[in-house]
Structure 1
Amino acid sequence: MNILLVDDEASLRRTLRTTLEAQGHAVREAATGAAALRQLDEQQADLVFLDLKLGRESGLDLLPKLLEASPGLGIVMMTAHASIGTAVEAMRRGATDYLPKPFTPDELRVAIDRWHTVRSLRGRVARLEEQVRQTVPDVELTTAEPAMETVLKTAFTVADSEASVLLRGENGTGKGVLAREIHARSRRKDHPFVVVHCPSLSAELLESELFGHARGAFTGAVEATEGKVFAANGGTLFLDEIGDLPLGLQPKLLRFIQDREYERVGETKTRTADVRLIAATNRDLEAEVKAGKFREDLLYRLNVIEITMPPLRQRRHDILPLAGHLLKFFARQSGKSMTGFTAEAREVLMKHAWPGNLRELRNAIERGVILSPGGEVGVDQLPPGLGSRKARLEVGGLISLEELEAEHIRRVLGATASLEEAAAVLGIDASTLYRKRKKLEP
């Protein structure tokens, strides 16, 4: 690595330089903050060893200046006056490690290895984020609809607060997308955004996923886990489909919201976490309260700020711009040259009711791009339920049961995120749905 030593003691710099060069690193020196900044301006470094006291200067005050001059730089604080307080403050200001004097060559090597691991993980995260950007369309939050403008204005206004937010709306309206955008605009943006899907697990496993568990807490708990609350510490915890949270788990979530305290499953030790809560639901929680399925006090705690996402059928002016945005993404992903939609296809897109909302629109445009040879997407490349006679199929119409079932399956598949979810909606096995879907393919 290219390492910069910043210490006002020349003898210590010589000793460190000799040790680090023996380990194969390229080393430069600076005795003052100004000299260190000049060194970084001339040549970037991978890692800086920074003394806490530089004569009359403070290494803590120099630390953010170094990071500003070289974002992503690793900084190890060194001091002969080690204390928990200075270590915490150094980390808060951006240091990656802390090394109390005197230290051995092995301790020095361990500090370098730790930074190497952190840097490798950062690179891996950056690569994964780039892969996600290539496989998931960019968030499109512009709108020409007053109702959606109100939603975005409210969301962006409350983003930088600590208030809990409850996002309401039908499936596929983009509640998860908006939750991530609220986090991205908050003061917690540099900390984790952690998602918990409330309908995904049994009550016991969901509690474990949320709060963690001790080893041996239940059958199969061969190792202790920290849980999503721990993982979200300092950031945002997004509780997706909160209306499906088991009734027995609701008091524990309520206690955590009120006191920021919780216990892992199988443990009595009380833990704390600093998280901001955003929840989402497609259910009428007030009706769930009346039915005894959802705690009223929990609803009040979650519903500090309420935002309701309008369905796509109420955003008519946004349909074609959103479709165009998705078309560009999927065309780029598939390497096709696409110019837009035919006039008939645009009319179909505008007239469709979009029961699956943005998710259904995304699936429709992806299909259109895949089936199109290039140029414009026509009605024939869009899902059959959008533009053909089958778009007008209704219960009680003069059609066969086979036609009605086929169209219903197509619409449910278009409105759900996976084959398993569609099978659950239809009330059949995923394997049965797979066979039926194969019959529907052209």
Structure 2
Amino acid sequence: MAKLLVVDDEKNIRETLGRFLASRDHEIAIAESGREALALMNRDGAFDLVLSDWRMAEMNGLELLNAVKAKFPTTIVILMTAYGTIQNAVAAMKAGAYDYVTKPFSLDQIQHAVDRALEVKELRTENRALRNSIDGVPLLTSGSPQFRSLIETAYAAASSDATILLTGESGTGKNVLAWQIHEWSPRRERPFIVVNCTTLSEHLLESELFGHMKGSFTGAIKDKPGRLEAANGGSVFLDEISELSPGLQSKFLRFLEDERFERVGGAQTIKVDARIIAATNRNLPQEINAARFRSDLYYRLNVISLHMPALRERPEDILPLADFFLAETAARNSRMGLQFSDEARKALVAYSWPGNIRELRNAVERAGVLSRGATLRKEDLPDILFQSSAPRNGNLPERSTLDQIEQEHIRRVLALAPTLEDAAATLGICITTLWHKRKRYHLD
């Protein structure tokens, strides 16, 4: 539910729009002037979207737009006017308006403009969060020659439109590298759209990717564009693409081949220009042999393949990352001066980190929050570091596969954790991913 503010000096218009948008499950406030609107925002905080008339007494729509952008830069503004001119439209767009609607308008036009604006805001929020996480974490710097070579290859590939396949274990930073490839590319000013293929059912994932038409299934109360349409001109990152169902694999293969698709329940063919970056923690050739993944889709995805090494394969990076995460935790929790003892640093390096960078970050944050002193001792670190890393491969055979090591580690964490949420936090993965891994390894 979005928080919307309707501003118009005509009572009938503002009340009609207020009722209509409230019926679309939005939280609505109304104001009859720009000054009243600003007073509401100063009192109640930022709104997701302001829908304002252009021509009002005391403060017109353009002046309100400038005031909103100065104090609430993430709020999207749509202007309405009966005095539609090119000059007004240019002025509004230059000042930061998202859209410009000319009166008289239909309620369907308003709904379309608001839905499209809120979709853009959601994507901007996701991109901002990802950018902040990347700016704050030196995940793409390394003392490992192997990793530096990987980054050089990614940088060279970024300038092309070639499809990129990122492989590697969960928690190695594939999402960070995908974002950085987009930022290095000529598409950097266009959207970067993330689709996690593990979090939705097949039906919902199809709608998320391709969009749907009103009435195409229960709950489809309006036409909705998909993430591929939203990414036009930009990049789409499909995380855990190995989880696509056979039907979705076929439909997505068609999109890769000719950049066309239809929405769920729709007949119109839509063409989109979007660069695809896909990621998986599975061995796709093995998935192909097991008839779980299409070989033709694999070859379409695997134009440029980049393998993210596990943290245990770049041990020289463990302590620099741990120090950074500790400084970050100290700043966020007002515990400046935190540092690791020599024994704690040795324990961090000795552990195999099957959850990779994500697990390291969670372990450091937990220790930083719960430690009683400024120096983090070995005892402040999670118990799992000592129960599963000495000896490093536990009771597993010397020639164990990565799947066997992961399965055994998850089994141990599940046995020790009081809840699934705690187990997921210890492993540094989301609970949905843990659910899939339990099912895969028959650990239910």
**Shorter-normalised TM range:** 0.5 to 0.7
Pairing 1:210–2:204 present: no
CA gap 1:348/1:420 in 2 versus in 1, 3 angstroms: same
Q: What does residue 156 of structure 2 align with? A: 157
Pairing 1:417–2:429 present: yes
Q: What does residue 59 of structure 2 align with? A: 24
Contact 1:46 1:74 in 2 (8 A): no
Contact 2:211 2:263 in 1 (8 A): yes
Q: Which moved more, 1:125-134 or 1:160-169?
A: 125-134
CA gap 1:322/1:409 in 2 versus in 1, 3 angstroms: farther
State the secondary structure of the residue aligned to 2:225: coil
CA gap 1:347/1:149 in 2 versus in 1, 3 angstroms: same
Corresponding letter in the other structure for 2:148 = E
Question: Which structure 1 residue ranges, 5 or more long, are not aligned?
Answer: 2-18, 29-44, 48-71, 81-86, 108-114, 398-403, 434-442
Q: Using the alignment, how far apart are the partners of 1:127 and 1:210 within structure 2? A: 19
Q: Using the alignment, how far apart are the partners of 2:326 and 2:268 within structure 1? A: 52
Contact 2:166 2:307 in 1 (8 A): yes
Question: Which structure 2 residue ranges, 5 or more long, are not aligned?
Answer: 1-33, 35-53, 68-75, 106-112, 398-409, 418-422
- How far did residue 130 of structure 1 move? 7.4
Relative to the length of structure 2, the TM-score reads 0.66
Q: What does residue 297 of structure 1 align with? A: 296
Q: What does residue 169 of structure 1 align with? A: 168
Q: What does residue 354 of structure 1 align with? A: 353
Q: What does residue 317 of structure 2 align with? A: 318
How many corresponding residue pairs?
354
Corresponding letter in the other structure for 1:347 = K
State the secondary structure of the residue aligned to 2:375: strand
- How far did residue 123 of structure 1 move? 9.8
Q: What does residue 18 of structure 2 align with? A: none
Q: Using the alignment, how far apart are the partners of 1:120 and 1:262 within structure 2? A: 23
How do 1:234-253 residues align onto structure 2 when only pairs under 5 Å count?
234-253=233-252
Q: Using the alignment, how far apart are the partners of 2:377 and 2:298 within structure 1? A: 46
CA gap 1:119/1:215 in 2 versus in 1, 3 angstroms: closer
How do 1:265-344 residues align onto structure 2 when only pairs under 5 Å count?
265-344=264-343
How do 1:113-128 residues align onto structure 2 when only pairs under 5 Å count?
none
Contact 2:127 2:192 in 1 (8 A): no
Q: What does residue 381 of structure 2 align with? A: 382
Q: Using the alignment, how far apart are the partners of 2:382 and 2:363 within structure 1? A: 6
Q: Using the alignment, how far apart are the partners of 1:207 and 1:120 within structure 2? A: 21
CA gap 1:46/1:299 in 2 versus in 1, 3 angstroms: same
CA gap 1:132/1:234 in 2 versus in 1, 3 angstroms: closer
State the secondary structure of the residue aligned to 1:200: coil
Rg: which structure is higher? 1
State the secondary structure of the residue aligned to 1:307: strand
Q: Using the alignment, how far apart are the partners of 2:173 and 2:200 within structure 1? A: 22
CA offsets 1:312-359 (integer angstroms, 9 cap, x no match): 001111110001111111111111123421000111111111111111
Q: Using the alignment, how far apart are the partners of 2:66 and 2:302 within structure 1? A: 46
CA gap 1:216/1:372 in 2 versus in 1, 3 angstroms: same
Q: Using the alignment, how far apart are the partners of 2:268 and 2:342 within structure 1? A: 64
State the secondary structure of the residue aligned to 2:248: helix
Relative to the length of structure 1, the TM-score reads 0.67
Q: What does residue 139 of structure 1 align with? A: 137
Corresponding letter in the other structure for 2:212 = H
Q: Using the alignment, how far apart are the partners of 1:122 and 1:196 within structure 2? A: 15
Contact 1:379 1:387 in 2 (8 A): no
- How far did residue 368 of structure 1 move? 0.9
Q: What does residue 195 of structure 1 align with? A: 194
Q: What does residue 43 of structure 2 align with? A: none
Q: What does residue 232 of structure 2 align with? A: 233
State the secondary structure of the residue aligned to 2:169: coil
CA gap 1:272/1:338 in 2 versus in 1, 3 angstroms: same
CA gap 1:213/1:407 in 2 versus in 1, 3 angstroms: closer
Report the RMSD for the aligned CA atoms in angstroms: 4.5
Matched-pair identity in %: 40
